[in-house]
Amino acid sequence: MSEHEKQERVVQARMKLRQRFFDRIGQTPSLADTSPQGEGDANRHGMPRLPPGQYETKKWPVLDLGVKPEISRDTWQLEIKGVCEQPVVLNWNGLLELEVVDDVSDFHCVTTWSRFDVQWRGVRLADALALAEPKSSGRFLFFSSYDGYTTNIPIEEGLKDDVLLVFEADGEPLPRDHGGPVRVITPQLYAWKGAKWVKSIEIMTQDRRGFWEERGYSNSAYPWREDRYDR
C-alpha cells in the first residue's frame, strides 16, 4: 500500500469516526454557546478572541510539574489503548505516516494569559484515534505524559480538527520546555487539557479525572465561561 493510499484510508476512518460523534461535537460548549463571554473580534468558531479574565501576551510562559523529561524523537512513542479494536503504538516515523497539517490557533492558559496565532505543525489527534478504531462505547480520553502528568477530555473534544499532536510551533521544533517532541493542543479548551510530552491515550467508557482535575480544576475547562475551577 502506497503512502497516499495509507493516508486516504486514515482520512476515511477519521471521517467515519467523526460522523459517529457529529451531534456531540456540535453540542460542545465552544460550538453551542449562544452567549460566550470575552472581548475582541470573533475567532474562527465565533467566540470572542480573548476569553474573560485573560490578557494577551507575546511571550510563552513555561508551566509544568517541575519535571522536564528529555525524550528524543527517536525514542518517543505514543500508545493508544483502551476501548478500541486495534490498539496501536506510534513511533516518530509512524506519526509522520499520518497526514501532517499546518494550523494557526490561540492558546489560553488557565493562569490568565493567552497567546494568539500560534503556528502549529502536527497531525490531527482524530487521525491517530482512527487508527485504533474506538468502539462505540468509548466516550472519554485519558492522556498520560512522560513526566507523570495526566488529563482528560470527552472524545468529541478530541475529534475536532484543531486538536493536534504537534511537533512544531512557529516554524521550529516544539521545545522541550513546551512538551517536545510531541504534545497535544486543545484550542477550544484551557491549555492544561493538552498534555505535554504525551505518552499514552486511553479510550474509556467512563470519565476519569487527571492531575489538575483531581485538585479542583474544572473538568470541562471552557474558557469563554471562565470555567477554571469546579464550582
Which candidate, 209, 182, 30, places its Cα nearest to that of 108? Answer: 30
pLDDT at 186 over 70: yes
Residue 63, pLDDT score: 87
Residue 1, pLDDT score: 63
Percent of the chain at pLDDT above 70?
100
Q: Which amino acid is at 10?
A: V
Confidence of residue 68 (pLDDT cuts 50, 70, 90): very high
How many other C-beta atoms can be found within 10 angstroms of the C-beta atom of residue 16? 11
pLDDT at 2 over 90: no
Percent of the chain at pLDDT above 90?
91
Handedness of CA 156, 160, 166, 172 (dihedral sign): negative
d(CA 30, CA 46): 9
CA angle, 105 then 190 then 12, to 5°: 55
Residue-level length of the chain: 231
Looking up cell 497526514 gives 99
Domain regions of the chain by residue span: 3-61+75-215
**What element of type H or E holds 156?**
helix 155-158
**Per residue in 20-35, pLDDT tens?**
999 999 999 999 999 9
d(CA 168, CA 175): 8
String of DSSP letters for 89-150: EEEHHHHHTSPEEEEEEEEE-TTSEEEEEEEEEEEEHHHHHHHH-B-TT--EEEEEETTS-E
What would the CATH number be for the domain defined by 3-61+75-215? Answer: 3.90.420.10
The whole-model pTM stands at: 0.96
